[in-house]
Amino acid sequence: DGIDLRDLSLEGLRKLISVVDQNTFLFNDTVANNIAYGHTDSSAERIEAAARAANAHDFIMRLPAGYDTVLAERGQTLSQGQRQLLAFARVLAADPEILVLDEATASIDTETEQLVAAAIETLTRNRTSIIIAHRLQTIQNADRVLVLENGRVSELGTPAQLLARGGTYARLHALQFQDT
């Protein structure tokens, strides 16, 4: 938003950022407390609104005690997709200005894939988002894509521009979408 990051303290910058990675950490606590993690002042209404926006509300309501269900350590009784949806709800409850998704769609089950894709669209709306992904479907709507090879940026552009160039992105796209 036009602010030089050097003008922010490290603590101030960290308060602006939320991260979701492929290994969501959930605590042996209630679903509601897992969503509110780091923001214990979150109301029940805010927690539910975040869960609804992340497409997690329906599966939460099917749990034995809904939002009061105590999860096993690391959410072991949930699918990977359900754990990711809770992580997305946590981010939405925090409402960060900068979002980092680090392979957030890796290892999700097919059943939850569409819910996760819709949640990502909600998550990234109106915020700076850095999405690290091997699944190109995750970044199809990106404003800019950086292709990294051997630790260096090898391509930069919109998905359409990169497809037209016929480079690494286009090759990976062809491999991932050959059946569609």
Give the residue, 117 or 176, on which the prediction is more confident.
Answer: 176
Structure confidence at residue 125 (pLDDT): 84
pLDDT digits (tens, 9 = 90+) for 66-110: 999 999 988 888 988 888 889 989 988 988 889 898 887 776 766
Q: What is the CA radius of gyration of the chain?
A: 18
10 Cβ neighbours under 8 A, 6+ residues apart: none
Residue 174 has pLDDT above 80, yes or no: yes
Strands 145-149 and 152-157: antiparallel
Q: How many CB atoms lie within 10 A of CB 176?
A: 13
Strands 17-21 and 98-102: parallel
Cα separation of 154 and 148, whole Å? 6
Give the residue, 148 or 110, on which the prediction is more confident.
Answer: 148
pLDDT digits (tens, 9 = 90+) for 34-78: 999 987 788 999 999 999 998 899 999 999 999 999 999 888 889
Least confident range of 6-10, 30-34, 61-65 = 6-10
pLDDT band at 161 (very low <50, low <70, confident <90, very high): very high
Strand order in the sheet with 17-21: 17-21, 98-102, 128-132
Average pLDDT, the chain: 87
Structure confidence at residue 179 (pLDDT): 60
Cα separation of 141 and 7, whole Å? 31
Joined tokens for residue 75: 């959410």
Reading phi first (left if > 0) and then psi (alpha if -120 to 50, else beta), residue 63 is in beta
